[in-house]
């Protein structure tokens, strides 16, 4: 399977190649036209200079003068073109060839050529000039006139196509070398950039493989610009890794806690049962130990039941179809009645600070009942005898707030961040009560969070307060 790096490089290289090829073809075409046009313009300029020179010389010595031939040879040597002059009849009377027996002198150009000169006296074309040359050449002609404006003849400048395109070929060779260098540089940059872009993906793939093996400690190094798409992806990946690592820690802690919670009653049940069976426990004490076995069995049953309740309650609270509009004030009053006997037994005062106007909320009624029950149960369980429990309901900023406050032992600051974790019990709860299994507050937070709401706790100077929010009914 091809890697993302290779696919990205191939795509980039193909795009660069196609773009560069099209640009090069367009550049070559434009440059070719420019070079050839420039050469032709230079030839036209040479023809004009030759015509002026011939006109000047003709006033004194005529077009057949030796001095004009030497001048034409100089022009030919400097430009690389063949230069000659014809009279008005079309006969070549002067040539740039230095030989005295020049083959061109005395020859007459075809009437088809001289007829093309007649309209305006100029000529630009590719031609052999009536077999004057063995192959086609580019020909430029300009009229030669005397002082009185009488036409004396024509100045011709011709160039072999090889010479004309030779200049273009020299330019093309340099252009091709430069183009190849730029293209190679573009490919190297593309290779480097593609590799750099694929590096975080390779790291993510390696990290994912480690995740599959249970190692959640690895992280992907952030790129230079964390605000672009790759930076956002890396940040999300690392956040996911953090969540997975914490989830794994919680899972390990959950297994350790539940193992501990299950081992204790099971060890007690097994030990007492074996003691009764093998006669270690006297007959007169069997009833006592059977009660312990019964209590531990009930505790074990309660643990399993509460674990199932947590799962069911979380699923129910997360289902929007289960949410209805109900009176939160009435629900609090009904739940408080369940604790009347327990509050009386501990000589506790209950102060319900509820508004006169009932507050309607939209939520899962059973789930919120469980939340309020667990919080009040927790407050009654850990309140000092003879103290007061305050239950307050109010609304603010489009939300309903429920506060449950009691006075008792202060929760240690180190315990507060973990107060809602599964099976978490602070030292005070372990010392004061053995009936809980550490799922009550975890269930409270799970239900509230399932409603996309929050719950908070603070404990200072012996006063502990839980506050949670619910959405008001529209």
Write the pLDDT tens digit of every residue in 18-27: 877 787 788 7
Measured between alpha carbons, how far is 138 from 161 in angstroms, rounded to an integer? 7
User: What is the predicted pLDDT for the residue at 451?
Assistant: 86
Phi, psi of 384 (to 5 degrees): -70, 145
Beta-bridge partner residues of 324: 363
- Nearest alpha-carbon partner for 28 in 168, 160, 211, 228: 168
Measured between alpha carbons, how far is 468 from 370 in angstroms, rounded to an integer? 13
Phi, psi of 253 (to 5 degrees): -65, -40
Share of the chain above pLDDT 90, in %: 18
Measured between alpha carbons, how far is 38 from 301 in angstroms, rounded to an integer? 102
**Is residue 104 pLDDT above 80, yes or no?**
yes
Q: Mean pLDDT lowest for which of 31-35, 323-327, 448-452?
A: 31-35
- The CATH number given to 322-471 is 3.30.565.10
User: 């024509």: which residue's tokens?
Assistant: 154
Query: Where is pLDDT greater, at 29 or 344?
Result: 344
Neighbouring residues of 456: CB distance < 8 A, sequence distance ≥ 6: 466, 467, 468
Which bin fits 456, alpha (ψ -120 to 50), beta or left (φ > 0)?
A: beta
Q: Mean pLDDT lowest for which of 45-49, 60-64, 78-82, 218-222?
A: 218-222
> What's the pLDDT band for 432 if we cut at 50, 70, 90?
very low
Mean predicted lDDT score pLDDT of the chain: 81
Contact yes or no for 370/443 (Cβ under 8 A): yes
Neighbouring residues of 421: CB distance < 8 A, sequence distance ≥ 6: 250, 253, 442
Q: In the 8-state DSSP scheme, what is residue 239?
A: H
Measured between alpha carbons, how far is 257 from 95 in angstroms, rounded to an integer? 113
Question: What number of CA atoms fall less than 13 Å from residue 59's CA on the CB side?
Answer: 11
Measured between alpha carbons, how far is 341 from 360 in angstroms, rounded to an integer? 28
User: What is the predicted pLDDT for the residue at 38?
Assistant: 81
| Domain 216-317: top CATH class | mainly alpha
User: 């502990």: which residue's tokens?
Assistant: 464
Token pair listed for 375: 């919080």
Could you tell me where in the chain the CATH 1.10.287.130 domains are found? 216-317
Average pLDDT of span 405-426: 80
Contact yes or no for 328/400 (Cβ under 8 A): yes
Measured between alpha carbons, how far is 139 from 131 in angstroms, rounded to an integer? 13
Measured between alpha carbons, how far is 328 from 334 in angstroms, rounded to an integer? 10
Measured between alpha carbons, how far is 350 from 338 in angstroms, rounded to an integer? 12
Phi, psi of 469 (to 5 degrees): -120, 155
Contact yes or no for 371/448 (Cβ under 8 A): yes
User: What is the predicted pLDDT for the residue at 188?
Assistant: 81
Burial string for 274-293 (b: 16+ CB within 10 Å, else e) reads eebeeeebeeeeeeebeeeb
Does the domain spanning 4-166 belong to CATH 1.10.10.1100? no
**Is residue 394 pLDDT above 90, yes or no?**
yes
User: What is the predicted pLDDT for the residue at 420?
Assistant: 83
Condensed to tens digits (0 to 9), the pLDDT of residues 317-348 reads 667 777 899 999 999 999 998 888 889 999 99
Query: Where is pLDDT greater, at 392 or 256?
Result: 392
User: 């964390």: which residue's tokens?
Assistant: 226
Measured between alpha carbons, how far is 344 from 414 in angstroms, rounded to an integer? 32
Condensed to tens digits (0 to 9), the pLDDT of residues 273-321 reads 888 888 888 888 888 888 888 888 887 787 777 666 666 666 666 677 7
Contact yes or no for 353/392 (Cβ under 8 A): yes
Most confident among 133-137, 246-250, 371-375 (mean pLDDT): 371-375
Could you tell me where in the chain the CATH 3.30.565.10 domains are found? 322-471
Condensed to tens digits (0 to 9), the pLDDT of residues 106-132 reads 888 888 888 888 667 788 888 888 888
User: What is the predicted pLDDT for the residue at 428?
Assistant: 41
Measured between alpha carbons, how far is 363 from 144 in angstroms, rounded to an integer? 107
Condensed to tens digits (0 to 9), the pLDDT of residues 166-214 reads 666 676 777 778 878 877 887 787 777 777 776 777 777 777 888 777 7
**Is residue 386 pLDDT above 70, yes or no?**
yes
Q: Is 121 exposed, middle or buried (0-12, 13-18, 19+ CB in 10 A)?
A: middle
**Is residue 17 pLDDT above 80, yes or no?**
no
- Nearest alpha-carbon partner for 317 in 472, 471, 451: 451
Token pair listed for 185: 């540089």
Given strand 82-87, what is the order of strands in its sheet?
92-95, 82-87, 151-160, 137-145, 123-127
Could you tell me where in the chain the CATH 3.30.450.20 domains are found? 4-166
Measured between alpha carbons, how far is 150 from 60 in angstroms, rounded to an integer? 15
């Amino acid at each position: 399977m091809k890697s993302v790096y290779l696919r990205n490089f191939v795509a980039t290289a193909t795009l660069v190649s196609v773009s560069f090829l099209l640009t090069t073809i367009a550049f070559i075409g434009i440059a070719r036209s420019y070079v050839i046009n420039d050469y032709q313009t230079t030839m036209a300029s040479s023809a004009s200079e030759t015509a002026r020179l011939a006109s000047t010389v003709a006033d004194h010595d005529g077009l057949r003068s030796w001095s004009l031939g030497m001048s034409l040879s100089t022009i030919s040597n400097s430009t690389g073109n063949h230069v000659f002059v014809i009279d008005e009849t079309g006969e070549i009377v002067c040539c740039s060839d230095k030989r005295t027996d020049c083959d061109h002198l005395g020859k007459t150009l075809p009437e088809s050529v001289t007829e093309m000169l007649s309209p305006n006296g100029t000529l630009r074309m590719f031609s052999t000039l009536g077999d004057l040359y063995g192959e086609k050449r580019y020909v430029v002609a300009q009229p030669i006139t005397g002082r009185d404006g009488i036409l004396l003849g024509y100045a011709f400048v011709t160039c072999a196509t090889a010479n004309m395109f030779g200049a273009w070929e020299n330019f093309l060779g340099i252009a091709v070398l430069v183009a190849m260098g730029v293209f190679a540089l573009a490919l190297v940059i593309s290779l480097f950039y593609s590799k750099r872009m694929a590096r975080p993906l390779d790291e993510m793939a390696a990290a994912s493989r480690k995740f599959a093996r249970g190692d959640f400690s690895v992280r992907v190094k952030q790129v230079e610009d964390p605000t672009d798409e790759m930076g956002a992806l890396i940040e999300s990946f690392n956040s996911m890794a953090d969540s997975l690592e914490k989830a794994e820690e919680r899972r390990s802690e959950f297994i350790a806690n539940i193992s501990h919670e299950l081992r204790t009653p099971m060890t007690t049940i097994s030990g007492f049962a074996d003691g009764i069976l093998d006669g270690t426990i006297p007959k007169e004490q069997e009833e006592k130990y059977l009660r312990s076995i019964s209590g531990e069995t009930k505790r074990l049953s309660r643990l399993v039941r509460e674990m199932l309740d947590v799962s069911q309650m979380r699923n129910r609270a997360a289902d929007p179809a289960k949410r209805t509009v109900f009176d939160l004030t009435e629900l609090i009053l009904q739940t408080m009645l369940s604790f009347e006997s327990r509050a009386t037994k501990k000589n506790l005062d209950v102060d319900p600070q509820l508004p006169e106007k009932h507050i309607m909320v939209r939520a899962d009624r059973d789930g919120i009942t469980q939340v309020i029950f667990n919080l009040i149960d927790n407050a009654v369980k850990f309140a000092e005898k003879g103290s007061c429990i305050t239950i307050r309901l109010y609304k603010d900023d489009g939300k309903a707030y429920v506060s449950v406050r009691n006075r008792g032992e202060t929760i240690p600051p180190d315990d507060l961040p973990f107060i809602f974790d599964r099976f978490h019990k602070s030292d005070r709860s372990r010392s004061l009560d053995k009936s809980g299994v550490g799922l009550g507050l975890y269930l409270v937070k799970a239900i509230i969070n399932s409603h996309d709401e929050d719950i908070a706790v603070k404990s200072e100077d012996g006063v502990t307060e839980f506050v949670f929010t619910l959405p008001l009914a529209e």
